[in-house]
A and B are shown apart, each in its own frame.
Chain A
Amino acid sequence: QVQLVESGGGLVKPGGSLRLSCAASGFVFSDYYMTWIRQAPGKGLEWISYISSTGGYTNYADSVKGRFTISRDSATNSLYLQMNSLRAEDTAVYYCARDGTTGDFGDYDYWGQGTLVTVSS
């Protein structure tokens, strides 16, 4: 069965860095676009980044552009989010999700359980 498991969240000071990971299993990882979505405490969902199946295309929300970098490793079936210059407003649960259409159509059919990132001094 499809599984996505995020890790790497935690408490970090403003201006600091953190790298999130998402371990994928149960499907052919290299066939699917992958995405990161976050949810601040008590708030709605915010799309932040996607990466194509080959890793050749990426895109970011304006709120994280230039600070966050998405990447993937098909050898280990892993998705990553490198987060630099973190701000208090980046505090959120971060979810990885698969686009089930094998393209970029927003069909996020499987989600991980999320990992909490807290940015605070």
Chain B
Amino acid sequence: QTVVTQEPSLTVSPGGTVTLTCASSAGAVTSVYYPNWFQQKPGQAPRALIYNINNKQSWTPARFSGSLLGGKAVLTLSSVQPEDEADYYCLVYYGGAWVFGGGTKLTVL
């Protein structure tokens, strides 16, 4: 069973930049694994942010961007806003099934 690993928690100051990563126990995350990113705030359903590495949903703010770097999928938040405080999950495709990462709790402080 493939394990997808994210930072359990990160803290960033308002206006700062933060990078969240998504790594796989099966090896490098590449484009064939279609990495996606989701945001979830307390008491809410998850919301899609980025699909297939770096494609934004129509509602995704410009300060969010996705990429691949060093064998990992990466979500970068620039000019972080207080409302960006949330849990973030990556999703990747392995062996015909989808696997979520454990999630990163982002605190804006």
Contacts and interface: CB of A to CB of B under 8 A. Distances in A.
A105 B99 contact: no
Secondary structure call for the B interface: strand
Interface in B16-54: 34, 36, 38, 40, 45-48, 51-52
A59 interface: yes
A47 B99 contact: yes
Contacts, number: 68
Nearest to A93: B45
Q: How large is the interface on B (under 10, 10 to 19, 20 to 34, 35 or more residues)?
A: 20 to 34
Contacts of A111: 45-48
Interface in A33-67: 35, 37, 44-47, 50, 59-62
Interface in A86-121: 95, 100-101, 105-114
Interface stretch (B63-71, B74-82, B90-98): B90-98
A11 B52 CA distance: 37
Secondary structure call for the A interface: strand
B45 A45 contact: no
Given A95-B46, A107-B36, A111-B46, A46 B100 contact: yes
Given A61-B97, A95-B45, A109-B57, 16 more contacts: A35-B98, A37-B46, A44-B100, A45-B40, A45-B100, A46-B100, A59-B96, A60-B97, A62-B1, A100-B57, A105-B51, A106-B51, A106-B98, A108-B36, A108-B48, A109-B51
